[in-house]
Amino acid sequence: MFQKAQRLQQLPPYLFKEIDRLRDEVRRQGKDIIDLGVGDPDQPTFANIVTELRRAAQDPATHRYPAYSGLSTFRQEAARWYKERFQVSLEPLSEVVTLIGSKEGLAHFPLAFVNPGEVVLVPDPAYPVYSAAAVMAGGIPVKMPLRRDNNFLPDLQAIPAEALKKAKMLVINYPNNPTAAVAEKDFYAAVVEFALRHKLIVVSDAAYTEIAYDGYRPLSFMEIDGAKEVGIEFHSLSKTFNMTGWRLGFAVGNAELVAGLGQVKSQIDSGAFDAVQLAGIAALKYSAPEVKRMCALYQERRDVLVAGLQAAGLDVTPPKASFYVWAPCPPGYSSSQFTMKLLTEIGVVSTPGSGFGQAGEGYVRFALTVDKRRLREAVKRLRSLEL
């Protein structure tokens, strides 16, 4: 009866919604499901954060409309945290904006700067929101393939000249979802130079910088000379502090870009709940020991899963960061075929690489969001398969 707008008709079904549907269908058949699909931390939010939310929510001062750009105290804390963590100096009121989760900010940002017909350069495979946000803004997403032989970094020199002529924005994401790849200073420096040469806005999604292993410390794009001149970086409290349901994040960087995003948000939402932002201050200020504990937990899980996948014959590289393992499919299987085999035959949920983009074909993604006992069971089941 009602025809959807063309912008929605251009988008595929949201990947994780479809995975949930298939998982629930198999579960109804009575199969025990081990869900390594969507990256939602299984551990509770840290106790100090919950305590602060309880206190703040009881204060009637937090019950009114929040400021569109976020509490000044939250933005000040985000700036302090960036300085301590990355040695990046930020002006809290002009170079930081509060988000209702980083997904919200990533989805809204192109509305501020992308005109219809302009190109947004997005990685492939990638978090689906990057392309969807470009389409919603009337832009044209052009994919930059991430290949194993290039350490899952985009080859900037391979971007078609015609796309570059129309390009307005370039999206990067490290530590990367879904590949778990990381980027170093030489790559980020090349991105800055490339953006300056082609007059591009750089969007850096840094949601996983705090989940890392073996002593590795991921960089921020903002650490690189010139990055603030061309870019904006999105950070999330969701994965770092087990706060996925709380919906809180922030963006930092170039003041004009931050202001543009803030202007869009003022037209679309009314800001994050003040009590959640006050709890976010507690997270950023006092939770470093808990984050370290979580990284140790994920590292143990990574070692169990990677060893099991390797024993099953899959050529898996242990990730340095993120809580994902990016595994090549066995010979003869597409990513969707292998995912369906795992789900229907052994009750293990994974995510097909093709769901993140054409260049993800031939891989599946596993999330380290179940305990070691269940991971060992998943590995046992996988090794029982004939591959």
Cis peptide bond prior to 218, omega within 30° of 0: no
In this structure, of 23-37, 220-234, 236-250, the range with the lowest mean pLDDT score is: 23-37
Q: What is the mean pLDDT of the chain?
A: 95
Backbone Cα Rg of the chain: 21
Question: Average pLDDT in the 321-333 region?
Answer: 97
Euclidean distance between CA atoms 26 and 90, whole angstroms: 49
The CA-CA-CA angle for residues 57, 59, 64, to 5°, reads 80
Euclidean distance between CA atoms 377 and 18, whole angstroms: 24
Single-letter amino acid, residue 166: K
Say what the pTM is: 0.95
Euclidean distance between CA atoms 214 and 212, whole angstroms: 7
Question: Average pLDDT in the 315-338 region?
Answer: 96
**Angstrom distances, CA of residue 369 to CA of 17, 343, 350:** 18, 17, 12
Confidence of residue 372 (pLDDT cuts 50, 70, 90): very high
User: Going from the N-terminus, what domains does the chain have, and what CATH number goes with each?
Assistant: 6-44+289-384 (3.90.1150.10), 47-286 (3.40.640.10)
Beta-strand ranges (E) seen in the chain are 34-35, 96-99, 119-124, 140-145, 167-173, 201-205, 231-236, 249-253, 324-328, 348-349, 351-352, 363-367
Q: How is 275-340 classified by DSSP, letter by letter?
A: HHHHHHHHHHHH-HHHHHHHHHHHHHHHHHHHHHHHHTT---PPPSBSSEEEEEPPTT--HHHHHH
Quote the pLDDT of residue 12: 74
Single-letter amino acid, residue 101: G
Query: Residues 13-58: pLDDT tens digits?
Result: 766 677 778 778 878 887 889 999 888 999 999 999 999 999 999 9
Tell me the longest C-alpha to C-alpha distance in the chain: 61
Question: Average pLDDT in the 131-145 region?
Answer: 97
Quote the pLDDT of residue 27: 80
Residue 350 pLDDT exceeds 80: yes
Share of the chain above pLDDT 70, in %: 99
Question: Average pLDDT in the 76-103 region?
Answer: 98
Quote the pLDDT of residue 28: 84
Token representation of residue 98 = 């509060």
Confidence of residue 3 (pLDDT cuts 50, 70, 90): confident
Token representation of residue 215 = 């002593």
Contact 261, 109 (CB under 8 A): yes
Provide the β-strand partners of residue 249.
99, 236
Share of the chain above pLDDT 90, in %: 88
Residue 138 pLDDT exceeds 80: yes
CA 185, 188, 193, 196 dihedral sign is negative
**Angstrom distances, CA of residue 255 to CA of 88, 92, 252:** 14, 10, 8
Provide the β-strand partners of residue 170.
121, 202
Query: Residues 271-313: pLDDT tens digits?
Result: 999 999 999 999 999 999 999 999 999 999 999 999 999 999 9
**Angstrom distances, CA of residue 102 to CA of 45, 47, 157, 204:** 17, 22, 29, 11
Pairing of strands 363-367, 351-352: antiparallel
Quote the pLDDT of residue 187: 98
Quote the pLDDT of residue 38: 82
Confidence of residue 68 (pLDDT cuts 50, 70, 90): confident
Residue 223 pLDDT exceeds 70: yes
Element at 235 (helix H, strand E): strand 231-236
Euclidean distance between CA atoms 74 and 278, whole angstroms: 7
